[in-house]
């Protein structure tokens, strides 16, 4: 059994925060942020908005494009590290989407690599277990864990949701060509948002009953994250391309996790992929973690940049540390 992508959709919050808005709360400037990241603005959840409703909006659009009914979906994978509920939101999303058949639904936590890992899991479920229509949703509100007084990281992130529908097909139509996955727990110290006892610096319960726990704000060493990506991601893409029997020149589009423009340019340079083939919308949304790849995919499909049959090399990377590449056909 093969599998192919047959629909995509996305949704973003209404509140837009520009670099100038940020400069009112931390010592920074539009010029500094733009020069280092290419980010000009981002969307942030506000009012009654939440990730579940954004995810449902993105999923509905993907189903509509795929000409499917919610009851056709037999598995929902929600890739998120900042979900509305610690125990996962897959079943809630399924219920509110209108799936009446109680499809399997669960969450995957892998930060900015989450969506690619979800895509790979969807392919595994289709090929190995006979699932037919798998909805993969990448959805994150990293703004919930941003320290808005930390000028070295607060400008990077935004909130969004994106979804794709992966469908079973015969082997001749198979559109998911290869994957390559890695992790490095040593690098955890460079990027994390750990669970800790409130008011304490450690994360080990020293007394019983324990105190309340909460997640710390994002703790990031930007320079080390930058080095990690540039060292590992081009290699990962090369390995995935080799497995698919392709080279960098065979792809139509390079679709990287939208962390920042400097990272995308460096990876493309190393692979000798021309900038016209690099998909980028980071300027408008910032780094939306697991949502960034399906959000950029959806925008590019809907504005007819990515056309049916084209080959995409997509790579996610981030906290964990984790990195994951998929070569697929739209
Ligand atoms: N505005 C103005 N000045 C600033 C700001 C700011 N927002 N933040 C830091 N500075 C200052 C610093 O204090 C420093 O000043 P100094 O030289 O007097 O000490 C100077 O600017 C340079 O700071 P650096 O940290 O060296 O800046 P750098 O060129 O490394 O850029 C950045 C920082 C943009 C975070 C970069 O390291 C980066 O892009 N890293 C990747 C991080 C990333 O993408 N993380 C996302 C999460 S994971 C993922 O999705 C991959």
Instruction: State pLDDT tens for residues 275-330.
Output: 999 999 999 999 999 999 999 999 999 999 999 999 999 999 999 999 999 999 99
* Choice from 223, 256, 316 to test ligand 1 binding pocket (greatest atom count within 8 A of CB): 223
- Neighbouring C-beta atoms of residue 231, cutoff 10 Å: 10
Atom 1 of ligand 1, nearest CA residue: 28
Angle between helices 90-97 and 51-66 (to 10 degrees): 60
* Choice from 17, 29, 114, 156 to test ligand 1 binding pocket (greatest atom count within 8 A of CB): 156
Give residue 146 CA to ligand 1 midpoint distance, Å. Answer: 15
Ligand 1 neighbours (beta carbon < 6 A): 28, 32, 36-37, 112, 151-152, 155-156, 191, 220, 222-223, 225-226, 229, 257, 259-260, 262, 287, 317-318
Map residue 325 onto helix, strand or coil: strand
pLDDT at 200: 58
* Choice from 152, 155, 324 to test ligand 1 binding pocket (greatest atom count within 8 A of CB): 152
Q: Tell me, what's the ipTM?
A: 0.93
Single pTM value for the model:
0.95
pLDDT at 178: 97
pLDDT at 199: 64
Ranges of the chain whose pLDDT falls below 70: 199-210
Q: In Å, what is the CA distance from 318 to each residue of 115, 120, 203, 217, 274? A: 12, 17, 22, 16, 24
pLDDT at 210: 67
Say how far apart CA 53 and CA 171 lie, in whole Å: 35
Atom 38 of ligand 1, nearest CA residue: 222
Map residue 93 onto helix, strand or coil: helix
Is 257 noted as a catalytic residue in this protein? Answer: yes
Ligand 1 atom nearest residue 287's Cα: 50
Is 190 noted as a catalytic residue in this protein? Answer: no
Q: Which of 304, 61, 26 is nearest to 164 (CA)?
A: 61
Do 17 and 41 contact (CB within 8 A), yes or no?
yes
Atom 44 of ligand 1, nearest CA residue: 259
What letters, b where the CB count within 10 A reaches 16 and e where it falls short, cover 64-77?
Answer: ebbebebebbbbbb
Catalytic residue from among 107, 112, 133, 260: 112
What sections of the chain are H helices per DSSP? 19-22, 30-37, 51-66, 90-97, 114-129, 222-243, 261-271, 282-285, 292-302
Is 202 noted as a catalytic residue in this protein? Answer: no
Atom 13 of ligand 1, nearest CA residue: 152
């Amino acid at each position: 059994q093969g599998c192919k992508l047959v629909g995509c959709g996305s949704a973003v919050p209404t509140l837009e925060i520009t670099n100038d808005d940020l400069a009112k709360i931390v010592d920074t400037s539009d010029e500094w942020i733009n020069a280092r990241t290419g980010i000009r603005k981002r969307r942030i959840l506000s009012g009654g908005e939440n990730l579940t409703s954004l995810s449902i909006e993105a999923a509905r659009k993907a189903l509509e494009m795929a000409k499917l009914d919610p009851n056709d979906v037999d598995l929902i994978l929600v890739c998120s590290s900042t979900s509305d509920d610690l125990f996962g939101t897959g079943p809630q999303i399924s219920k509110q989407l209108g799936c009446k058949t109680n499809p399997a639904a669960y969450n995957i936590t892998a930060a900015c690599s989450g969506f690619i890992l979800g895509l790979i899991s969807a392919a595994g479920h289709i090929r190995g277990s006979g699932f037919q229509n798998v909805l993969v949703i990448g959805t994150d509100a990293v703004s919930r864990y941003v320290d808005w007084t930390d000028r070295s990281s607060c400008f990077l992130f935004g909130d969004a949701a994106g979804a794709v529908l992966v469908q079973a097909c015969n082997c001749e139509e198979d559109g998911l060509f290869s994957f390559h996955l890695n992790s490095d727990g040593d690098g955890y110290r460079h990027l994390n948002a750990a669970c800790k006892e409130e008011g304490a610096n450690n994360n080990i319960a020293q007394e019983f009953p324990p105190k309340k726990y909460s997640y710390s704000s994002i703790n990031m060493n930007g320079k080390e994250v930058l080095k990690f990506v540039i060292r590992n991601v081009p290699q990962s893409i090369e390995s995935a391309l080799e497995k698919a029997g392709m080279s960098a020149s065979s792809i139509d589009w390079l679709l990287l996790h939208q962390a920042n423009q400097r990272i995308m340019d460096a990876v493309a340079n190393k692979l000798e992929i021309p900038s016209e083939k690099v998909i980028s919308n980071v300027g408008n949304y910032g780094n939306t973690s697991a949502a960034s790849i399906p959000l950029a995919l959806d925008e590019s499909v809907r504005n007819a940049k990515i056309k049916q049959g084209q080959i995409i090399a997509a790579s996610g990377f981030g906290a964990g540390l984790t990195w994951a590449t998929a070569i697929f056909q739209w």
